[in-house]
Amino acid sequence: MFGRPISLFRILGFEVKIDVSWIVLAALIIWSLASGLFPAYYKDLPSAAYWWMGVAGAVGLFLSIIVHELTHSLVARYYGIPMKEITLFIFGGVAHMEDDPPSPKAEFMMAIVGPLSSCLMGILVLSLYALGKNSGWPVTVIGVLNYLIWLNIILAVFNLVPAFPLDGGRVLRSALWSWKKDIRWATSFAARIGSGFGILLIIMGIFYIVKGNFVSGLWWFLIGMFLRSTAQMSYQQLLARSLFNTKKVKELMVKDPVTVPRSISLEEFVRDYVYKHHFQMYPVLSFGRLTGCISVKQITSIPREEWANSTVGAIAMPCSKETTVGPDEDANKALAIMNRTGNSRLLVVREDNLEGIISLKDMINLLSLKRELNDLEKK
């Protein structure tokens, strides 16, 4: 949402990351719990107690979302779907899926396990709540547990709404896919419902804002916008994957890319390459062999007065799996790397030889052209 997410830890082979936007959400959750919800239900406690309850509630939300997304990821792994990381952001969390489910059954199982895990979390917290009530635990602990019970129930119920890409929408897609044997049609249908539900939430948000409940209205409005755009984007991603499954990287790459010699100064590089071509990253060659990459971001870390005396070779970074792809790989792999890393251009490399460059812009142009031609064929 707001840049590259921050890596927190690994669990069961999955990397858990957090988007900066989730920190904003956590702060809002803590503030609303400490100044609104808990004081309304648990009166006459010290101010510090409410703030500690707010922090505990935000941590409980964090753990509930992690468990929810982790179960999605574990089932996806069972069905052979590449899933390496979980990212928390302002509207919850997402388990990054690099491919479509192999069957309607896999889609159904992967989708339904999320709400089921939230229900189980709610039952587990309910058990702790009952134990605490009977054992005379402090009211601050009881209050937080009560909040987490309802939080997990709401998380399960909301995700069961049959609006793609919510879990309920994915359950709907699995049923439509099984019926029609066409994942593209099923995704299109489920995405339209998801988009419509998003519009409904937007209208609800506007209604609340007009009525004077600005904060609640704003949240409904933003969630609706997010669901609508995500539903549309999910269908576009399916179209892209179906197209690029039939293409190799070497079919889409530019075979004679702009390259930079190691020996030139940073000043020459900026003047003759950056200002001329406007790319963010360039391959660096020495005697025709690829020796590394240099990016505009690296240049910004060097003081302007040192550009004339510093060479490209001195600051070029070794190429990595985040910046390269093989020519015989499926184009979908290049797209997955771009989505994961945020790099819009990848070097096409075989051993130490640079064979070309593949760019997100060229891939998007091909997808747009393909869609336009398909539309023309239908007329």
pLDDT digits (tens, 9 = 90+) for 204-216: 999 988 888 887 7
* Reported confidence tier of residue 235, pLDDT bands at 50, 70, 90: confident
Q: What is the pLDDT of residue 105?
A: 93
* Reported confidence tier of residue 139, pLDDT bands at 50, 70, 90: very high
What are the pLDDT digits (tens) for 319-359? 888 888 888 888 888 877 887 777 788 888 887 788 888 88
Whole-model pTM? 0.72
Name residue, tokens 């503030």: 31
* Reported confidence tier of residue 91, pLDDT bands at 50, 70, 90: low
Q: Please give the mean pLDDT across all residues of the chain.
A: 84
Q: What is the pLDDT of residue 2?
A: 46
d(CA 60, CA 72) in angstroms, rounded, equals 19
Query: HSE-up of 225 (CA within 13 Å, CB side)?
Result: 9
- Domains of the chain and any CATH numbers: 6-244 (no CATH), 249-369 (3.10.580.10)
Q: What is the pLDDT of residue 193?
A: 92
pLDDT exceeds 60 at position 375: no
Q: What is the pLDDT of residue 379?
A: 41
Q: What is the pLDDT of residue 11?
A: 81
Percent of the chain whose pLDDT exceeds 90: 24
pLDDT exceeds 50 at position 368: yes
pLDDT exceeds 60 at position 378: no
Q: What is the pLDDT of residue 173?
A: 92
* Reported confidence tier of residue 96, pLDDT bands at 50, 70, 90: low
* Reported confidence tier of residue 148, pLDDT bands at 50, 70, 90: very high
* Reported confidence tier of residue 234, pLDDT bands at 50, 70, 90: confident
Q: What is the pLDDT of residue 293?
A: 87
What are the pLDDT digits (tens) for 299-323? 888 888 888 888 888 888 888 888 8
